[in-house]
Amino acid sequence: MPDAPTSSSFMRLYEALPPEARQQLVEKRLAPLLDHVSRERGKKVLKSATQLRMKYDTAPDLNIRVKKREINALVDELVRDAKRSIVKERSRREELMEEIVESITEWLNDIWSVVFEYKINFEEAHRCLLFLADVLDTLTTIPTAGQCRCSINHHKITIEIRRKRKVIKNFTLSGPRRLDRVLLWIWRDLFVCMFFKNRGTENIPNMLTDIEDCLSWEALEQLLYGGSSSTYDDEDGEESDEESDREQEFGCPCRLHGSHWSQAINEHHTSVRDLVLDHLTALFETAPSHKLYSSILSISPTYDETEEQLQKTVTEIAGCSADTLVAALDIHTAEGNPIASAALLNEHSYLLRPRDANILQTAVASLAELSSLHPLALQIAERELLDTAAAIRVAIRSAFCKIEDKIAGPVLTDIGKLRVDTAPRRQRIDSWVDSVITPGSGTTHPMAFAAMMLGFPFAPGMEDGDETGDMVGFLDLDPGDPDLEDLREEFRPRLRERFESWVSTVGVIKGGGSALLNRVYHKIVEEMPYFKHADVVNEMMSRIGERPSKAHIADGMDAVLDFCKAQRKKLVAMAEKRRKKEAAKKAAAASSPPADDSDGPPPLIPLSNLVVIGPPSTPTRTFGGMNDVD
């Protein structure tokens, strides 16, 4: 009789073998051993095998190959129906969606029954759930040939998970996009049962990676809550959870339990949580974000230790890239650590990009609240404002290539001497703008001409022959695509939003903000004197505002013009206030009587010593007695 270490070593080796090798080991080595044991022991082994066969004979056959073909055929038919409905003016969309939902619902019941009731075929069930996740992604992005997508995206779906005709879980969902909640609920049961049976648990980390690749990392946190979000709020308003009594059943206020679990299965829910926590922590070390930071803390059983570890990690990797620095600033600012944010900005501020302005502005506002870091906040804000103004200046030069020529300055000065809203001034402005604007090619771009010949409409920016904008006009077709963010920042920078947000940030800083804006204003009008004249800038904006490829330049100019107008009003108001104050002081000094000498009466002066100063022709006389009386 083999001892325990021998049998356990054999089982470890057996689990490490591929399925074909396991089958070969049983057929060639283990099965022949039954012929060499006693008859009673052999019958006992056969009886156990027969009982297992009877138990699992009733288990549903997942048959992923057949189900894939069935569901894919229905999805393909839904795509073809969307194309045919344009011509035929009729559609089978509702009918096809009902068939797809019915097929998915039936299969989901089978998958859950296999993993929870029979506790077998975990790997195959995982592959089935991954396939269904891909199908849901296809349904939410299926082309509708320009028609409304509401009938697909908001198709009401009701799914019931049954166990021996008893409803275990009921889902009422508003569209295929929410079916991932059912998948995550089944995945949670799958992992818990794997730990309960102690089968294949070493593969769970890889399964979690598959789920992240298919549904994103946010789905892993939702998995722990049975597919629900991290809060109790439900955006679709479905009343489907029968787990409201989980606190009474397991004596725990957390949401990591299933109401249909036995106490033996429930003991393994912490194992699933720990694996998800380890996975998210490892992800945080390579791609940190404040949202991921909050998610990890929400599921961690040791909040303080995890918080300290995450903050240490994000500080160490902050200098690796712009994304890690932005994440570190966002986390430290949200957690109220301005000293840590200041240290990161002093060391790695060169990594920040223009599109990171929002995070940097929040960090600067937090720095300004600390007296020791207030000068640093003003320094960063002034630098960013001037940098944004410089970017707008460069953009203006691309649209008005001769605006900084030597001859343009004196002409602009002469225009400023003319009365506003007069015909001569308007004529001079038109002439000046014509002389400095960048001449266009005046011809249609070849790509736009080819599209016109094929009957396609122009893409945004391709109609004016502008080389800087026509080839990137497709950026406007999908403004939310994050993969094009770098190109969008290069060719369509958000100059207006960036400048106005920095002005607003400085405006809320107490102490020094007004002086900073005043310095920036004088710097702007020194380098771009045309911003002294609103009608000149308005004419410049009207010339380029009609060209989509230059719209961002016009927006940036409009933001700077509004800023300059506001600053001029403030300067005029301050000058007027100062003038009134000085005038009031002079009037008070003139109207007040001479101050009395408190030391006594003034000294007596002999009349003989008084001298009267008269006109130049009148000689000076001395007063002397009655002879001077008329």
| Residue-wise pLDDT tens digits, 86-131 | 665 677 877 888 888 889 988 999 999 999 989 999 999 999 999 9
Q: What are φ and ψ of residue 343, in 5° steps?
A: -65, -40
Question: Which of 72-81, 523-532, 610-619 shows the highest mean pLDDT?
Answer: 523-532
User: What pLDDT shows up at residue 240?
Assistant: 44
Residue type, 282: A
Closest residue by Cα to residue 164 from 232, 116, 210, 98? 116
User: What pLDDT shows up at residue 87?
Assistant: 62
User: What pLDDT shows up at residue 246?
Assistant: 46
- Predicted TM-score (pTM) above 0.75: yes
Q: Which residues are CB-contacts of 215 (< 8 A; sequence separation ≥ 6)?
A: 133, 180, 183, 184
Query: What is the C-alpha radius of gyration for the chain, rounded to an integer number of angstroms?
Result: 40
User: What pLDDT shows up at residue 116?
Assistant: 92
User: What pLDDT shows up at residue 236?
Assistant: 43
From residue 281, how far is each of 292, 297, 408 by CA, in Å? 9, 10, 59
Q: Which residues are CB-contacts of 193 (< 8 A; sequence separation ≥ 6)?
A: 115, 116, 119, 122, 265
Cβ atoms 288, 331 nearer than 8 A: yes
What mean pLDDT is reported for the chain? Answer: 82
How far, in whole angstroms, is CA 270 from its chain's centroid?
31
DSSP-derived secondary structure for 208-243? HHHHHHHH-THHHHHHHTTT--SSS--TT-------
- 157: helix, coil or strand? strand
Q: What are φ and ψ of residue 468, in 5° steps?
A: -80, -15
Q: Give the bridge partners for 611, in sequence order.
A: 622
Sequence-separated contacts (24+) of 316-325 with Cβ below 8 Å: 317/285, 317/288, 318/344, 318/348, 319/347, 319/348, 319/351, 321/351, 322/351, 322/352, 322/353, 322/356, 323/287, 324/288, 325/351, 325/352
* Cα-based angle 277, 280, 284 (whole degrees, multiple of 5): 135
Comparing 73-82, 129-138, 224-233, 554-563, the range with the smallest average pLDDT is: 224-233
Looking at residue 543, what DSSP letter applies? H
From residue 260, how far is each of 110, 166, 167, 257 by CA, in Å? 17, 11, 10, 9
Q: Where in the chain are the domains? A: 60-241+257-267, 394-575
- The C-alpha atoms of residue 515 and residue 571 are separated, in whole angstroms, by 11
User: What pLDDT shows up at residue 619?
Assistant: 45
Tell me the mean pLDDT in the region 518-546: 92
pLDDT at residue 537 greater than cutoff 60: yes
User: What pLDDT shows up at residue 596?
Assistant: 52
- The C-alpha atoms of residue 399 and residue 488 are separated, in whole angstroms, by 18
Comparing 232-236, 263-267, 550-554, the range with the smallest average pLDDT is: 232-236
Q: Which residues are CB-contacts of 394 (< 8 A; sequence separation ≥ 6)?
A: none
Question: Which of 55-59, 150-154, 262-266, 625-629 shows the highest mean pLDDT?
Answer: 262-266
Surface-to-core class of residue 607, CB atoms within 10 Å of its CB (0-12 exposed, 13-18 middle, 19+ buried) = exposed
From residue 460, how far is each of 451, 457, 463 by CA, in Å? 12, 9, 7
Q: List helix spans (H) across 437-550.
A: 446-454, 485-491, 495-507, 513-527, 534-544
Q: How many CB atoms lie within 10 A of CB 387?
A: 14
Surface-to-core class of residue 622, CB atoms within 10 Å of its CB (0-12 exposed, 13-18 middle, 19+ buried) = exposed
Q: Is the dihedral of CA 615, 620, 621, 622 positive or negative?
A: positive
User: What pLDDT shows up at residue 141?
Assistant: 76
Residue type, 314: V
The residue with greater pLDDT, 231 or 426, is 426
Surface-to-core class of residue 173, CB atoms within 10 Å of its CB (0-12 exposed, 13-18 middle, 19+ buried) = buried
- The C-alpha atoms of residue 181 and residue 177 are separated, in whole angstroms, by 9
Which run of H or of E encompasses 55? helix 39-57
Closest residue by Cα to residue 67 from 18, 117, 36, 109? 109
Surface-to-core class of residue 413, CB atoms within 10 Å of its CB (0-12 exposed, 13-18 middle, 19+ buried) = exposed
From residue 110, how far is each of 104, 183, 314 by CA, in Å? 10, 12, 44
Comparing 5-19, 279-293, 500-514, the range with the smallest average pLDDT is: 5-19
- The C-alpha atoms of residue 166 and residue 246 are separated, in whole angstroms, by 19
- The C-alpha atoms of residue 588 and residue 568 are separated, in whole angstroms, by 30
Q: At what angle do helices 322-334 and 303-316 cross, to 10 degrees?
A: 140
DSSP-derived secondary structure for 392-413? HHHHHHHHSTTTTSTTHHHHHH
Surface-to-core class of residue 467, CB atoms within 10 Å of its CB (0-12 exposed, 13-18 middle, 19+ buried) = exposed
For 190-230, the pLDDT digits (tens) are 999 999 998 889 999 999 999 999 999 999 999 999 988 76
- The C-alpha atoms of residue 167 and residue 329 are separated, in whole angstroms, by 48
User: What pLDDT shows up at residue 629?
Assistant: 36
Residue type, 487: L
Length of the chain: 630
Looking at residue 600, what DSSP letter applies? -
Q: What band does 553 get if pLDDT is binned at 50, 70 and 90?
A: very high
Residue type, 81: D
Tell me the mean pLDDT in the region 620-627: 40
pLDDT at residue 514 greater than cutoff 70: yes
- The C-alpha atoms of residue 415 and residue 420 are separated, in whole angstroms, by 9
User: What pLDDT shows up at residue 608?
Assistant: 46
